[in-house]
Structure 1
Amino acid sequence: MSKSHMFDLTGKVAAVIGGASGIGEAVTLGAVSMGATTVCLDVKAEAAAATAAKAGGSTESGAIDITDAASVNSALDAIVARHGQLDILICTPSINVRKKILDYQDEELQRVLKVNITGNFNVLQAAGRIMVPQKRGSIVLFSSIRSLVVEPGQALYSATKAGILQLARGAACEFGPSGVRVNCVGPGVVETPLTAPIKANPDWYNAYASKNAFNRWAQPEEMVGPTLFLASDAASYVNGTIIYADGGWLAQDGRFTPPGM
């Protein structure tokens, strides 16, 4: 493949889970623009259809509940039945209940684990069952900077984001011999509908903005490049790793600049 076509997704079939809003919507639109036959999947079927309509062309949509293995298998099998292949699977959804450990209720614990861990496992398993026999494919899961760093009220969320990364690494080891790659994107703080309550609090918003070198939050569109790089043939030897798209959050230790610097 020529270098000018390494990022081209023409001829590939991509499924974007969580594509109805936020990062997933941006990635869906990006995959379409790069030439992929794209299916926008979300637990909110009508919103997924709206994203597909916005993307235009032959973009498709459908319903999926990642916490239900049967739902995941059905959605992905339907794509293969229509198109004969599944080359790219991108999974963005996760949830967070911001509470200190001593304040967590069991129902909240189970809800976060079910979406973030069980859900991503279901997606990995269903995609792997398709891609391993076809001996090609790229799976991109969404971890976070919280896989490495934490703050009060984020212990469980951080544990699940580290878990997602380890699921991806394990799958990379198991699927890699069949030519299937599995990687993660690790965003910092991104302006999405899910982070709107934080954005509405100026002190909280500014505190997070000041944690990275750009001194601002990311836009969902800024996650498209890292995601589609991992999905594309440009990343043909990238497997079992994570790209942190965090504006330098993990690179710097505080915002103080010593005198004379």
Structure 2
Amino acid sequence: MAYADLFRLDGRRVAVVGGASGIGRESVRALAAHGAEVVVADRDAQGAQETARLAAGERPAPGAGTGAVSACTLDVLDDAAVREAVAGWGELDGLVVTVGANVRKRIADYTPSDFDRVIGLNLRAYLTLVQSVAPGMAERGRGSVVGLASMRAFQVEAGQSVYAASKAGLVQLLRTAAAEWGPRGVRFNAVAPGVVRTPLTDQIAADPQWYDAYAQASALGRWAGAEEIAGAVAYLVSDASTYVTGSVLSVDGGWTAVDGRFEPSL
């Protein structure tokens, strides 16, 4: 085992779906910095191009070069477009999916269109992507698929019903995929972030009291930056995690450990 190269991704080709901003963008930068050739796929063409530009400028480790980074416009809710895009990407060693949406409403106020939007991006899109990518990985006997779940897959609050349900469903989808494709060398894992400052959390961040309450609910007493999730993604794609599959890696600042509760004076 060459431990010095454990996290290197030289010669690996990875697609990051949802890479135009937030955790997706930082994941692309981390993967490229470790030497991977990365395809940045997103409906936001301009954002994907900007991510590719940023990632191409990452400094490589001494003695190693970063792989090429390219951008691809993709609507993950268009099944035919997904299959066509995957076919054009060529052989993939890794797939990272960070697309997602949240509509914060109480259950009584949820509309069918709200439900369809959240389930479509947070769960339905994963099905098509996995179906399109996993068989090719299985033929080659290796591959790593990483999905972005959430601590809300395990711990909920009012207004998070469909989002939490979709993330719990994603965890079980990836675990089942791990069982089905594991014998052929393909790994499936989820990363479950806590509160992360991204465009998805703009509604919370705009309210100072809400923002502070979320910060204080974790063991570390603060929000995460998107770059703090990228390391977990790179780990799960790399050879450092070759015996990790069907798992959920929580990167939540200890929120679920302390249960997000107020700590009284004792």
Q: TM range, normalised to the smaller chain? A: over 0.9
Which residue identity does 1:255 align to in structure 2? F
Q: Provide the C-alpha distance between the structure 1 equivalents of 2:247 and 2:116, rounded to a whole number of angstroms.
A: 27
Q: 1:97 — aligned with what?
A: 103
The structure 1 residue matched to 2:80, chosen from 70, 79, 82, is 70
The structure 2 residue matched to 1:150, chosen from 152, 156, 162, is 156
3-state SS of 2:99 partner: coil
The structure 2 residue matched to 1:237, chosen from 234, 243, 248, is 243
The structure 1 residue matched to 2:206, chosen from 200, 204, 207, is 200
Q: 2:191 — aligned with what?
A: 185
TM-score, structure 1 normalization: 0.95
Gaps of 5+ in 2: 57-66
Q: 1:5 — aligned with what?
A: 5
Kept after mapping to 2: 8 A contact 1:143/1:184: yes
Q: Provide the C-alpha distance between the structure 1 equivalents of 2:203 and 2:159, rounded to a whole number of angstroms.
A: 15
Q: Could you list the per-position Cα deviations for residues 228-256 of structure 1 after superposition, in whole angstroms to 9, with x for gaps in the alignment?
A: 11110000000001000000000014231
Q: 2:52 — aligned with what?
A: 52
Computed over aligned residues only, the root mean square deviation of the Cα atoms, in angstroms, reads: 1.1
Per the TM alignment, residue 6 of structure 1 is displaced from its structure 2 partner at its CA by: 0.8
Per the TM alignment, residue 69 of structure 1 is displaced from its structure 2 partner at its CA by: 1.7
Q: Does 1:210 align with 2:216?
A: yes
Q: 2:14 — aligned with what?
A: 14
3-state SS of 1:209 partner: helix
3-state SS of 2:256 partner: coil
Per the TM alignment, residue 58 of structure 1 is displaced from its structure 2 partner at its CA by: 2.2
Which residue identity does 1:10 align to in structure 2? D
Q: Does 1:167 align with 2:177?
A: no
Kept after mapping to 2: 8 A contact 1:66/1:119: yes
The structure 2 residue matched to 1:108, chosen from 114, 134, 138, is 114
Kept after mapping to 1: 8 A contact 2:36/2:68: no
Kept after mapping to 2: 8 A contact 1:68/1:122: no
3-state SS of 1:11 partner: coil
Which residue identity does 2:8 align to in structure 1? D
3-state SS of 1:251 partner: helix
Gaps of 5+ in 1: none
Q: Could you list the per-position Cα deviations for residues 125-157 of structure 1 after superposition, in whole angstroms to 9, with x for gaps in the alignment?
A: 111122111111000001000000111110110
TM-score, structure 2 normalization: 0.93
Identity %: 42
Moved over 4 A (4+): none
Per the TM alignment, residue 70 of structure 1 is displaced from its structure 2 partner at its CA by: 1.4
Count of residue pairs the alignment pairs up: 255
